[in-house]
Amino acid sequence: MTSTETGAAAAPLGRRERKKAATRQAIADAALRLFLERGYDDVGIREIADAADVSTTTLFKHFPAKEALVLDEDEEQEARLLASVRERPAGQSIPAALREHALRYRMAAAGADERFAAFFDLVDGTPALRDYVQAMWLRHTVALAAAIAEDCGRPEGDPACTALAHFALEAPRAARGHDDPRAAITCAFALLERGWLSVGE
């Protein structure tokens, strides 16, 4: 979902930037509405452009791929991910902080409005979107590993930090197909916690 949907704060924009942001939001809103109504695979790019009253060229200037119409918060996601390590409470381990971050993201639909819950169902029920989410998420491995290494005084490129970052980003996959996603994610991070303790935080 776009930053407007998730409530992320934004700096004041000039008129041109506001117009671009409004166009981008209109495209994202039209895409999500059509995807929720008919399913991701049954909606074409031209239909989305028509619904947003823009050309397909304009659409692709804002969104380079169809998947990005649904999931376009890569930079914001990375910032929140790194903050979960750097700004965690005193005494909380890095795996525990990453677990809480994963739970907040994965369980966000639990008490949210129906449209937000439908968004998660759309992603979970569409293989192309699931794969895109995971590929997008794993792109943060290097940055997360660097933040972990910096936090615990290890050298850049430390294999333990890289391993923790990679498996922490993979862990939410454990929730798929489980009746209790929270328990599945918690179990995955419990394994990571024990492994991390064995190398020393």
pTM greater than the 0.75 cutoff: no
Task: Using the predicted structure, report yes or no on whether residue 67 has a pLDDT greater than 50.
Answer: yes
Q: What are phi and psi of 86, to 5 degrees?
A: -70, -30
Q: Which of 89, 195, 84, 96 is nearest to 147 (CA)?
A: 84
Predicted pLDDT of residue 4: 42
Average pLDDT, integer, range 105-110:
59
End-to-end CA distance of the chain: 35
Average pLDDT, integer, range 63-92:
86
Within its chain, how far is the Cα of 47 from the centroid? 26
Which two structure tokens, joined as six digits, stand for 30? 């039209």
Cα gap 57→37, rounded to integer Å: 24
Task: Using the predicted structure, report yes or no on whether residue 201 has a pLDDT greater than 80.
Answer: no
Task: Using the predicted structure, report yes or no on whether residue 107 has a pLDDT greater than 70.
Answer: no
Q: How confident is the model at residue 7 (pLDDT cuts 50, 70, 90)?
A: very low
- Average pLDDT of the chain, as a whole number: 84
Task: Using the predicted structure, report yes or no on whether residue 15 has a pLDDT greater than 90.
Answer: no
Whether residue 164 contacts residue 192, with contact meaning beta carbons closer than 8 Å, is answered with yes
Q: Which residues of 82-118 are buried (b: 16+ CB within 10 A; e: fewer)?
A: bebbeebeeeebbbbbbbebbbebbeebeeeeeebee
Average pLDDT, integer, range 123-142:
83
Cα gap 58→27, rounded to integer Å: 9
Predicted pLDDT of residue 136: 76
